Amino acid sequence: MGVVSSFPPVARSDALVCVLGSMPGRASLDAAQYYAHPRNAFWPILESVLGIPRAAPYAERLERLKERRVALWDVLGSCAREGSLDARIKQSSIVPNDFSSFFTAHPLIRTLFFNGAKAETVYRKEVLPSLPEQFRSLRLVRLPSTSPAHAGMRFEEKRKVWGSLEWALDENARRGYYECRSIF
């Protein structure tokens, strides 16, 4: 069972929402790219929901994501895991990412979207209790996993639920978060 580490966050300081996975799978780690497995539905869903072309070069997709004010990261900084499945993560090996520093650097984030149950479960158990009070009131939304291992839901059903990402961005715009800046 090897120790694996996640990637740095993809985010501008003016991000409004953050999509959190658990830990990149083997194909993503080998390619050094978020959601690189060819059957992972993440980029096809974002193409449908946010208009980010899945066939665009990876760096361009990340830039388009940041332009839409969406941050992308993982809950886990490192863990021991055999293979790619979340179920194979050794619980005692979990080291979460530093969310206090992340939220301080990204003060406009209002909603966290979890790509699957494992990301949400680990965040609630390992991250949330240790956060300073000012970071505990973010909206937490679990979305269906885009992993090919989560085959119990058709693509169109996943895409429909993932549409809440666009809704959250629109809601933040209506509330004026696009214009707001931290004064601290």
**HEC secondary structure over the chain:** CEEEECCCCECCCCCCEEEEECCCCHHHHHHCCCCCCCCCCHHHHHHHHHCCCCCCCHHHHHHHHHHCCEEEEECEEEEEECCCCHHHECHHHCEECCHHHHHHHCCCCCEEEEECHHHHHHHHHHHHHHCCHHHCCCEEEEECCCCCCCCCCCHHHHHHHHCHHHHHHHHHHHCCCCCCCCCC
- Residue 97 catalytic? no
Q: Which of 40, 97, 115, 172 is catalytic?
A: 40
Query: Which are the catalytic amino acids?
Result: 40
